[in-house]
């Protein structure tokens, strides 16, 4: 059934769940490909913690289950999957490169050469290069150039943003995907993937931060002048909120999770102080009640603390003090808590909205239009665009010596990507 369809799959391996999204590449290929969402699969996963696979067998089972459900819904099979990766093992830095221009006019080869110079830093043996994103080119001291090909000049410089991950983290992720019977095509940093599903070009131009509040960690990605400027991962998120409720209300983990999802509010002033909720209890505890305000107070405190850590990242990157004109966009499962936007507005003093995937997708849009789907939808958008562009350069997605002419256009979309 899928003979004539070009299917792509995005796989989000979180600390609480695995989510697979399958889409067909449609639209104006290769210029403006769209991802027509055909299938979504969700499976519990206890084998990943904050972006690291801790239990390959459990993760393999979870990947197979999520992808099988998505395939069933899509009515087609996939082989390659684009996976998200995140966590504290990720690091990012800018790296400069300089070359002399070989002829009068800057060629694609010159650009490839300067990119190569900027990339050629020594990574630790335990590090793997995940993304190399040119921020800007400089031609004879003229800054802010995004595509220097065809310009006249003698000296070409680049500022390259390099994202690296712990090699073993990446290997274990790939291994789990392979054992589940699929081919890991690409790994993409999760907040970058999410940004592709929910941020507009204007927001990225003006200055915006994507804050992905998940279960085990909170990812931060700051964009300005259309480019990625800062990445960070904070090791607190929804699971810590749940743990605080376990402690504060003397309930089990499962009950705390249920209470949070059913009655939780992240911004205390939104709650009616008189409202009481029934607490689950053991026989010796007897019937118990708590004010919804107390529940909200506990959540508010923890989320506020997470936002303070996020704010610290804004400041570290030079975007503190309200210097994010397009504000903050919240994604991830914890962004579903009512009151998150209000609390974030208080904490960051900039405009805030929740980010649901909208742009670039068609098909079963309703099934993925929520902040928790920003990462997996971003992954299929990444895959769709790469597939469309790969087709445009003769299907050459693999870099081999002597194909830089083919390779250069593909490289250019990657630099526009984030
Ligand atoms: N409706 C909801 N209300 C409140 N919290 C929710 C809701 N839905 C999900 N969550 C919380 O979101 C968290 C899971 O979010 P998400 O699915 O983004 O995380 P993950 O991708 O599994 O983990 P991570 O990316 O941090 O490794 C859990 O802590 C869960 O309690
Ligand atoms: Mg996640």
Name the closest-CA residue to atom 28, ligand 1: 215
**Smallest Cα–Cα separation from 86: which of 10, 204, 166?**
166
pLDDT digits (tens, 9 = 90+) for 35-58: 999 999 999 999 999 889 999 999
In the prediction, which pLDDT does 145 show? 93
Name the closest-CA residue to atom 5, ligand 1: 334
- 234-354 folds as Nucleotidyltransferase; domain 5 (3.30.420)
Binding-site residues, ligand 1, Cβ < 6 A = 14-17, 50, 214-217, 237-239, 242, 257, 260-261, 264, 332-334, 336-337, 372
In the prediction, which pLDDT does 388 show? 85
123 confidence band (pLDDT: 50, 70, 90): confident
Please report which ligand is nearest the Cα atom of 53. Answer: 1
Beta bridge partners of 129: 164
For ligand 2, the distance from its centroid to the CA atom of residue 192, given in whole angstroms, is 12
For ligand 1, the distance from its centroid to the CA atom of residue 204, given in whole angstroms, is 25
Mean pLDDT of all residues in the chain? 92
- The reply to whether domains 91-164+398-417 and 234-354 share a CATH topology is no
pLDDT digits (tens, 9 = 90+) for 69-117: 999 999 999 999 999 999 999 999 999 999 999 898 999 999 999 999 9
pLDDT digits (tens, 9 = 90+) for 72-82: 999 999 999 99
For ligand 2, the distance from its centroid to the CA atom of residue 333, given in whole angstroms, is 8
Measured at the alpha carbon of residue 272, what is the angle toward residues 266 and 274, in degrees to the nearest 5? 130
**Smallest Cα–Cα separation from 174: which of 67, 63, 90, 43?**
63
In the prediction, which pLDDT does 28 show? 80
Q: Does domain 91-164+398-417 have CATH number 3.30.1490.110?
A: yes
Separation of alpha carbons 224 and 205, rounded Å: 5
Please report which ligand is nearest the Cα atom of 330. Answer: 1
- 7-88+168-200+356-392 folds as Nucleotidyltransferase; domain 5 (3.30.420)
Please report which ligand is nearest the Cα atom of 50. Answer: 1
Kindly list the domain boundaries of the chain, sorted by start residue: 7-88+168-200+356-392, 91-164+398-417, 234-354
pTM to 2 decimals? 0.92
């Amino acid at each position: 059934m899928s003979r004539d369809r070009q299917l792509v799959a995005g796989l989000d391996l979180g600390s609480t769940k695995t989510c697979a999204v399958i889409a067909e590449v449609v639209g104006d290929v290769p210029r403006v490909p769209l991802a027509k969402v055909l299938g979504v699969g969700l499976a519990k996963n206890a084998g990943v913690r904050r972006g690291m696979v801790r239990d390959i067998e459990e993760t393999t089972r979870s990947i197979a289950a999520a992808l099988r459900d998505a395939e069933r819904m899509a009515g087609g099979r996939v082989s390659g999957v684009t996976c998200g990766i995140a966590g504290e093992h990720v690091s990012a830095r800018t790296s400069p490169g300089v070359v002399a221009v070989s002829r009068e006019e800057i060629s694609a080869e010159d650009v490839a050469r300067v990119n190569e110079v900027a990339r050629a830093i020594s990574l630790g043996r335990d590090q793997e290069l995940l993304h190399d994103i040119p921020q800007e080119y400089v031609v004879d001291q003229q800054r802010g150039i995004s595509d220097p090909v065809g310009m006249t000049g003698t000296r070409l410089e680049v500022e390259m943003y390099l994202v690296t991950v712990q090699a073993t983290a990446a290997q274990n992720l790939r291994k789990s995907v392979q054992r589940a019977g699929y081919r890991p095509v690409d790994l993409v940093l999760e907040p970058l993937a999410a940004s592709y599903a929910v941020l507009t070009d204007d927001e990225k131009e003006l200055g915006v931060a994507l804050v992905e509040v998940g279960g085990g960690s909170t990812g931060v990605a700051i964009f300005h002048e259309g480019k990625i400027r800062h990445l960070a991962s904070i090791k607190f998120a929804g699971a810590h909120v749940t743990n605080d409720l376990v402690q504060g209300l003397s309930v089990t983990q499962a009950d705390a999770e249920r209470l949070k999802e059913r009655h939780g509010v992240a911004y205390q002033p939104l709650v009616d102080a008189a409202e009481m909720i029934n607490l689950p209890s053991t026989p010796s505890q007897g019937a118990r009640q708590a004010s919804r305000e107390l529940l909200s107070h506990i959540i508010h405190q923890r989320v506020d603390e997470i936002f303070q850590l996020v704010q610290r990242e804004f400041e570290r990157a030079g975007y503190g003090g309200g210097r994010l004109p397009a504000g903050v966009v919240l994604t991830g499962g914890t962004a579903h808590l009512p009151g998150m936007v209000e609390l974030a507005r208080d904490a960051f003093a900039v405009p805030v909205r929740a980010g649901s995937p909208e742009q670039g997708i068609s098909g079963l849009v309703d099934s993925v239009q929520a902040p928790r789907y920003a990462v997996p939808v971003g992954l299929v958008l990444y895959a769709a665009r790469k597939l469309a562009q790969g087709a445009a350069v003769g299907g050459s997605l693999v870099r081999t010596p002597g194909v830089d002419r083919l390779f250069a256009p593909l490289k250019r979309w990657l630099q526009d990507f984030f």
